[in-house]
């Protein structure tokens, strides 16, 4: 294969690869107004910067190409204190060009920034996200107190509705970042931050924590589901329901263990005696798409592994390895799977 | 026995008495002057060299080795120690890249990986980047300025020992499984007492203070040397651009370093050791205070690393294009304005923290405008190449590599300066790519070039040209293979400081390419070091000026004698060796039986004072041990501070005890 | 033995001692042995034994937790999360006895404190076995000991985040253990 053909062959999978993944967790997602504004400004910057770079490299190559000529202003010809007068005017032109280019970029950045700040005044939905070491505590705020919803690690947003997300932290600094939707904002203990997102495309997105927060920073991700407004309301109403009563004997045994054993010390399940506030809310655990804050997809096998030994999947996490007997494990997982 | 003259003296009228007394004084001085030997037409050549060597060389043995105040010896130690830390930090990076080569890799666990990247960052930033620049400057600046020693040579020695002890503290802690694992900048409250139990964070915090004290001391030495110890006739306008870069860098260090020493030793360690509340929001503190103070240091820090590299590029461009750098005064002004502007940028590291947006716009504008002076410097170097006749030996290759690489880094910096863009790109691999482009492209490439360039001066042998060229291409392509894909993986959503990433996000290919590139880059660096070692024993012998360069360090032998120059050179242009065909004018009159250097005025460099230079002394080493022990002990107990003041006080008093109380009135050299 | 040999021996021993001591303080025991064992009621070391005699030997697990900075840090977080402050405040006591003094009704050794937490005690101390794992209970015990200044100061964290609650643990005077029961004097 010729060099050019093999280069093309290498580039194409990269580009296609990017295209495939740009929906999920990438700046190219363009799934919200904020990310689209980012992309527009980014391409403007890239265009101007690329132009400047090409100029610099052209100048460099020209300088190299002239290396062999005879009439240089160098010490060997004794003219090393003279300079080409063209250089002086080029210097002034160069300065002017840099100045104008950078000023233009700064102004473009300022206007984009202002329009992003303006969007924050327009919110219709309000959510509070609290960062903990290595999971996300999510509370949907509502004027009616009976409609406030507490969930964990998965955020649902209605498409086309500006949402204001308030950001707190219970321990160290985390950062809320869903690349396909918007830029990031830190969750700082003792500070009230917020971010506004206006999603424009339906889909499922992933948002990794973007500020180093300790041992398992790599495994602290938020799953964001953007859906049509009607589906969102249906989801909210469903999440407000308490956990269903277990029907099978295995699930009943699991229910008994979960509500009286160590699980209820830290976790809460709506409609049951389990009311721990330390760990994520589990009321509708099985309806979520991921487990352990985006560490692995929700599924029976992963649930088994996580409940039995969280320390081997996410070493250092605050959930202890209890060491359940096999019978207890089957019962617990059977019960957790009913929490849809 | 009565003195007949005394009787005669008493009987003279008052004015006669006065005149007689003055004549007696003059005769006494003339006798004294005959006893003091000074260099000059009567004492020159072999005899002069022997006398100077006797006066300037240090005592033999281990005591003399520890007590040296010779700037060349200290500079060599700085460079070798920094290169050792470069290799250690690089090994950390290679392990990190191995872990990240595949998604969901289980080669290195979370705890160990966090230690690896914390050690990599801390080693590279605190133990390699600034000290190696200081080391090169400490070696070369007195030679380049035409003087025999730096100002404050014992402070210079103290600075090296503090740096060495700080580095040892960190790396011994790593071996003892006490390595810091919360990053190279350790934000609170993660680094606070509740979320970072144990002593590893305190070790990082104190290591920073060791290196800060060392850098501060070296900066004071360099600034005073550059301002007061130049050769006669070397006005500020004729001073080489490297000296200008070190002057600005030294002043920046003096203003920037105290901030980080404060935030680590005075704020963070008391929070962890005695329960102060500086960073505790629940008691009125603020976690962001740490970030503000750290980045007030942290942003100038990267320019502290970069400015000496611009000095290196100016030196190499001048010699290899056979002409002085175009628009010398523009470059000087660019250096000064970069230095000043860099203090107004620090909040661009905090764009995601939720500070008021209008304030952010100010920092965007400042961050974008700081690239203007650097852009002008690049123009001047390119114009020098255009106007001159560039020769592409290894140092010049590194300068070309620098232009290709650093300009990309600078432009991604402009991208990151815009708040809306930074909010997506902050704390992703895009920033990792940017910072390595500007630090490796902007500082390490010129550094490798300048090692090749000044290797003959330091060791007396040339580095192998062919190995050097192969090394350059390996380093260049390895670097781009490693860090170019990181722009991509950052934009595909890969955050920083993650020990693994999930499959299915498109991150596999960029990370694998980065890992392969990292090993190519490492191989190139190994080749460079091997070239250095090989050339040390087998390289071609170099004369005093193998490159045909213009500045004063090439006017003495390679390696220079311990006293640098036999006679003090005098300059009347900015390219002294090019404008005086063979015969450099000198000034004579310095003492040869004692260590003495010539101080000149700050701007016009007219000869001012003959300054005695301190003898070799163990007290800098002892003081560094005392201070170092206090810092290390205060990690474990607050009582170390008051009790530690006693040995520190004793060591410092012994150091500064006045050596000579007699007055020696001598006329000023005209 | 030549003096240089002796000097290097001493240096090596010092380095080894430093290594060993440092290792334990900074160790992470996220998978500490035993994995997930809830302390059954009968197996706890007796803390009250009438008629003199000697206290039982120290549990083997004590070495893993007693001066371990990470265990004390985890215990500090658990102390607040499990609402121990509800009865003991931050060691000053309230409904429950103070934890910052020298009086230990049921023993101040780490295994005795762990037992107290696991099996509960009369007059209101709940039993946490079955609610917390052994690892968590031992972490809490390590932290409780730090409230009265018993572990070495370099393993202890000075304060917690949030509102301040008394003397920082690194400045607490070194404690002793005095038992109320005269049978154990």
Task: Tell me the pLDDT tens digit for each residue of B302-333.
Answer: 999 999 999 999 999 999 999 999 999 999 99
Q: What gap in Å lies between CA B219 and CA B203, rounded to an integer?
A: 24
Residue C183: its pLDDT value, please?
40
Cross-chain Cβ contact C159/B275 below 8 Å = yes
Cross-chain Cβ contact C18/B176 below 8 Å = yes
Question: B62 and chain C: CB distance < 8 Å anywhere?
Answer: no
Cross-chain Cβ contact C161/A189 below 8 Å = yes
Going through A9-111 in order, the beta strands assigned E by DSSP cover none
In sequence order, the β-bridge partners of residue A146 are none
Residue B194: its chain C contacts at CB < 8 A? 73, 76-77, 157, 159-161
Q: What gap in Å lies between CA B474 and CA B524, rounded to an integer?
A: 5
pLDDT, tens digit, for every residue of B193-208? 999 998 999 999 999 9
Neighbours of A, requiring at least 3 CB pairs below 8 Å, are B, C
In sequence order, the β-bridge partners of residue A127 are A140, A165
Cross-chain Cβ contact C130/A321 below 8 Å = no
Mean of per-residue pLDDT scores for chain B: 92
The mean per-residue pLDDT over the stretch B80-94 comes to 97
As to burial, measured by CB atoms within 10 angstroms (0-12 exposed, 13-18 middle, 19+ buried), residue B102 is middle
φ, ψ of residue B309 to 5 degrees: the values are -65, -35
Q: What gap in Å lies between CA B388 and CA A74, rounded to an integer?
A: 6
Mutation pick from B62, B193, B271, B284 vs chain C, by most beta carbons of C within 10 Å, is: B193
Cross-chain Cβ contact C161/A315 below 8 Å = no
In sequence order, the β-bridge partners of residue A281 are A268
Q: Which of C26, C161, C171 sits opposite B194 (nearest CB)?
A: C161
Residue C130: its chain A contacts at CB < 8 A? 260-262
Instruction: State which of A143-157, B57-71, B401-415, C95-109 shows the largest mean pLDDT.
Output: B401-415
Tokens found for residue B155: 């402070």
The mean per-residue pLDDT over the stretch C130-154 comes to 89
Question: B403 and chain A: CB distance < 8 Å anywhere?
Answer: yes
C-alpha distance from C177 to closest chain B C-alpha (Å):
23
pLDDT classification of A12: cutoffs 50, 70, 90: very low
What's this model's pTM, rounded to 2 decimal places? 0.90
Neighbours of B, requiring at least 3 CB pairs below 8 Å, are A, C
Element (H, E) at B651: helix B640-656
Contact B169, B210 (CB under 8 A): yes
The mean per-residue pLDDT over the stretch B546-561 comes to 93
Contact B366, B344 (CB under 8 A): yes
Tokens found for residue A190: 């003792």
CB crowding A54-88: b at 16 or more within 10 Å, else e:
eebeebbeebbeeeeeeebbbbeeeebeebeeebe
Tokens found for residue C81: 């999360």
Neighbours of C, requiring at least 3 CB pairs below 8 Å, are A, B
Q: What gap in Å lies between CA B172 and CA C146, rounded to an integer?
A: 28
% helix, strand, coil for chain C, step of 5: 45, 5, 50
Element (H, E) at A212: none
pLDDT classification of C33: cutoffs 50, 70, 90: very low
Residue A2: its pLDDT value, please?
45
Question: A96 and chain B: CB distance < 8 Å anywhere?
Answer: no
Mutation pick from C26, C40, C131, C138 vs chain A, by most beta carbons of A within 10 Å, is: C131
Tokens found for residue B130: 């600034």
Going through chain C in order, the beta strands assigned E by DSSP cover 103-104, 178-179
Integer-rounded Cα radius of gyration of chain C: 18
The mean per-residue pLDDT over the stretch A320-335 comes to 92
Residue A211: its chain B contacts at CB < 8 A? 187, 352, 427
Q: From residue B255, how far is each of B124, B209, B627 by CA, in Å?
A: 21, 15, 22
The mean per-residue pLDDT over the stretch C83-103 comes to 89
Cross-chain Cβ contact C158/B198 below 8 Å = no
Tokens found for residue B26: 């003059």
A324: closest chain C residue by CA: C36
Cross-chain Cβ contact C168/B274 below 8 Å = yes
Mind giving me the DSSP string for B561-596? PTTS-SSEE--SSSSHHHHSSS---EE---BSSS-E
Residue C157: its chain B contacts at CB < 8 A? 193-194, 197, 272
Residue B23: its pLDDT value, please?
85
- What percent of chain B is modeled with pLDDT above 90? 80
- Dihedral angle over CA of B127, B128, B130, B134, nearest 10: 100
Q: What gap in Å lies between CA C62 and CA B629, rounded to an integer?
A: 32
Residue B122: its pLDDT value, please?
96
Mutation pick from C29, C38, C81, C127 vs chain A, by most beta carbons of A within 10 Å, is: C81
Mutation pick from A40, A100, A110 vs chain B, by most beta carbons of B within 10 Å, is: A110
Higher pLDDT, A22 or A162: A162
Q: What gap in Å lies between CA A302 and CA A290, rounded to an integer?
A: 9
Cross-chain Cβ contact B177/C170 below 8 Å = no
Q: Inform me whether the pLDDT recorded for A247 exceeds 70.
A: yes
Size of interface B-C (CB pairs under 8 A): 79
C160: closest chain A residue by CA: A171
Mean of per-residue pLDDT scores for chain C: 76
Distance, first Cα to last Cα, chain C: 47
Helices (H), A66-175: 85-119
Residue C48: its pLDDT value, please?
60
Q: Tell which phi-psi region holds residue B354, choosing left (phi > 0), alpha (psi between -120 and 50) or beta.
A: left
Contact B210, B172 (CB under 8 A): no
Q: From residue B238, how far is each of B152, B228, B242, B336, B552 by CA, in Å?
A: 24, 14, 12, 16, 12
Cross-chain Cβ contact B418/A105 below 8 Å = yes
Q: For chain A, positions 17-56, list CB contacts with chain C under 8 A.
A: none
Structural domains of chain C, with CATH: 58-157 (1.10.760.10)
Q: Inform me whether the pLDDT recorded for C22 exceeds 80.
A: no
Assess whether the previous peptide bond of A233 is cis (omega < 30° from 0): no
Q: For chain A, positions 245-264, list CB contacts with chain C under 8 A.
A: 260-262, 264
Tokens 């506004």 map to which residue? Answer: A196
Three-state secondary-structure class, residue B606: coil
Q: From residue B478, how far is each of B470, B485, B497, B524, B614 by CA, in Å?
A: 12, 12, 22, 8, 47
């Amino acid at each position: 294969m010729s060099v050019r053909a093999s280069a093309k062959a290498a580039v194409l999978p990269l580009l296609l690869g990017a295209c495939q993944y740009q929906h999920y967790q990438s700046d190219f997602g363009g799934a919200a107004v904020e990310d689209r504004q980012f992309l527009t400004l980014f391409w403007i910057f890239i265009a101007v910067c690329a132009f400047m770079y090409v100029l610099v490299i052209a100048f460099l190559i020209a300088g190299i190409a002239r290396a062999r000529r005879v009439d240089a202003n160098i010490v060997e010809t004794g003219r090393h204190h003279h300079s080409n007068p063209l250089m002086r005017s080029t210097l002034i032109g160069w300065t002017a060009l840099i100045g104008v280019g950078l000023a233009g970029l700064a102004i473009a950045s300022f206007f984009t920034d202002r329009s992003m700040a303006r969007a924050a005044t327009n919110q219709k939905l309000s959510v509070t996200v609290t960062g903990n070491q290595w999971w996300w505590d999510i509370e949907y705020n509502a004027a009616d107190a009976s409609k406030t919803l507490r969930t964990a690690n998965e955020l649902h947003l209605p498409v086309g509705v500006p949402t204001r997300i308030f950001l707190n932290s219970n321990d160290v600094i985390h950062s809320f970042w869903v690349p396909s939707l918007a830029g990031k904002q830190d969750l700082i203990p003792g500070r009230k931050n917020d971010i506004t997102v206006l999603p424009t495309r339906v889909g499922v997105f992933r948002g990794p924590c973007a500020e180093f927060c300790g041992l398992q920073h790599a495994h602290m991700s938020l799953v964001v589901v953007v859906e049509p407004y009607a589906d969102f309301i249906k989801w909210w109403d469903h999440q407000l329901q308490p956990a269903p009563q277990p029907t099978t004997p295995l699930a009943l045994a699991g229910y008994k263990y979960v509500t009286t054993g160590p699980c209820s010390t830290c976790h809460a399940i709506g409609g049951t005696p389990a009311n721990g506030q330390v760990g994520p809310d589990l009321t509708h655990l099985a309806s979520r798409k991921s487990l352990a804050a985006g560490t692995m997809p929700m599924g029976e096998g992963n649930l088994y592994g996580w409940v039995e030994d969280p320390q081997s999947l996410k070493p250092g996490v605050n959930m202890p390895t209890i060491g359940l007997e096999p019978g207890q494990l089957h019962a617990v997982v059977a019960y957790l799977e009913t929490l849809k | 026995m009565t003195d007949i003259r005394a009787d005669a003296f008493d009987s003279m009228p008052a004015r006669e008495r006065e005149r007689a007394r003055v004549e007696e004084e003059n005769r006494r001085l003339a006798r004294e002057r005959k006893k003091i030997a000074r260099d000059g037409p009567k004492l020159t050549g072999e005899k002069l060299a022997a006398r100077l060597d006797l006066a300037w060389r240090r005592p033999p043995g281990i005591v003399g080795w520890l007590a040296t105040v010779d700037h060349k010896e200290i500079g060599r130690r700085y460079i070798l120690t920094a290169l050792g830390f470069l290799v250690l930090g690089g090994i950390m990076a290679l392990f990190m890249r191995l872990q990240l080569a595949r998604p969901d890799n289980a080669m290195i666990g979370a705890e160990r990986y966090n230690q690896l990247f914390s050690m990599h960052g801390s080693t590279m930033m605190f133990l390699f980047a600034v000290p190696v620049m200081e080391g090169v400057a400490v070696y070369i600046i007195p030679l380049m300025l035409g003087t025999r020693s730096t100002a404050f040579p014992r402070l210079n020695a103290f600075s090296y020992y503090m740096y060495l002890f700080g580095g040892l503290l960190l790396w011994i802690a790593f071996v003892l499984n006490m390595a810091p694992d919360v990053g190279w900048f350790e934000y609170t409250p993660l680094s606070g007492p509740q979320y970072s139990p144990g002593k590893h964070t305190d070790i990082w915090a104190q290591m920073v203070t060791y290196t800060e004290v060392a850098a501060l001391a070296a900066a004071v030495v360099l600034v005073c040397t550059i301002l007061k110890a130049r050769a006669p006739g070397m006005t500020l306008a004729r001073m080489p651009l490297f000296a200008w870069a070190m002057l600005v860098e030294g002043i920046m260090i003096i203003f920037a370093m105290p901030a980080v020493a404060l935030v680590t030793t005075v704020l963070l360690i008391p929070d962890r050791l005695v329960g102060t509340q500086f960073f505790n929001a629940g008691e009125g503190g603020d976690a962001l205070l740490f970030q503000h103070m750290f980045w007030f240091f942290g942003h100038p820090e990267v320019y502290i690393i970069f400015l000496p590299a611009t000095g290196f590029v100016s030196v190499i461009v001048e010699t290899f294009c056979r002409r002085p750098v175009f628009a010398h005064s523009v470059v000087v002004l660019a250096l000064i304005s970069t230095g000043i502007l860099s203090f107004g940028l620090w909040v661009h590291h905090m764009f995601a923290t939720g500070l008021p947006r209008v304030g952010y716009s100010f920092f965007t504008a400042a961050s974008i405008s700081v690239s203007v002076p650097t852009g002008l410097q690049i123009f001047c170097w390119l114009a020098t190449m255009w106007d001159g006749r560039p020769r592409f030996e290894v140092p010049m290759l590194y300068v070309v590599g620098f232009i290709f690489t650093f300009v990309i880094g600078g432009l991604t910096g402009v991208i990151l300066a815009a708040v809306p863009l930074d909010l997506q790109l902050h704390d992703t691999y895009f920033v990792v790519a940017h910072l390595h482009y500007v630090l490796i492209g902007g500082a390490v490439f010129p550094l490798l070039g300048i090692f090749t360039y000044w290797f003959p001066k330091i060791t007396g042998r040339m580095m192998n040209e062919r190995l050097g060229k192969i090394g350059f291409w390996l380093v260049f392509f390895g670097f781009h293979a490693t860090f170019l894909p990181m722009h991509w993986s950052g934009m595909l959503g890969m955050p920083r400081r993650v020990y693994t990433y999930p499959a299915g996000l498109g991150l596999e290919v960029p990370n694998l390419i980065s890992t392969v590139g990292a090993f190519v880059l490492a191989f190139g660096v190994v080749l460079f070091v091997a070239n250095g070692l090989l050339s040390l024993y087998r390289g071609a012998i170099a004369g005093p000026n193998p490159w045909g360069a213009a500045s004063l360090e090439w006017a003495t032998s390679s390696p220079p004698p311990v006293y640098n120059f036999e006679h003090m050179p005098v300059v009347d242009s900015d390219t002294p060796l090019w404008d005086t065909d063979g015969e450099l004018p000198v000034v004579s009159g310095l003492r040869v039986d004692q260590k003495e250097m010539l101080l000149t005025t700050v701007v016009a460099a007219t000869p001012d004072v003959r300054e005695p230079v301190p003898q070799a002394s163990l007290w800098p080493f002892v003081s560094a041990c005392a201070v170092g022990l206090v810092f290390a002990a205060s990690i474990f107990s607050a009582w170390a501070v008051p009790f530690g003041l006693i040995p520190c006080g004793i060591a410092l008093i012994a150091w500064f005890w006045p050596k000579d109380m007699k007055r020696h009135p001598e006329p000023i050299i005209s | 033995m030549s003096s240089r040999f002796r000097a290097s021996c001493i240096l090596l021993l010092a380095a080894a001692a430093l290594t060993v001591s440092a290792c334990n303080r900074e160790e992470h025991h996220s998978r500490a042995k035993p994995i997930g064992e809830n302390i059954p009621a009968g197996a706890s070391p007796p803390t009250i034994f009438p008629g003199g005699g000697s206290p039982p030997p120290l549990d083997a697990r004590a070495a893993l937790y007693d001066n371990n900075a990470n265990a004390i840090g985890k215990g500090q977080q658990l102390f607040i999360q499990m609402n121990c402050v509800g009865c003991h405040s931050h060691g000053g006591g309230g409904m429950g006895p103070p934890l910052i003094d020298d009086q230990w009704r049921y023993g101040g050794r780490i295994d005795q404190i762990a037992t107290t937490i696991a099996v509960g005690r009369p007059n209101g101390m709940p039993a946490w076995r079955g609610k917390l794992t052994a690892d968590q209970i031992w972490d809490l015990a390590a932290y409780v000991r730090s409230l009265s200044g018993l572990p070495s100061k370099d393993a202890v964290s000075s304060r917690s985040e949030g509102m301040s609650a008394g003397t920082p643990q690194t400045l607490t005077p070194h404690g002793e253990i005095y038992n109320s029961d005269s049978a154990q004097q």
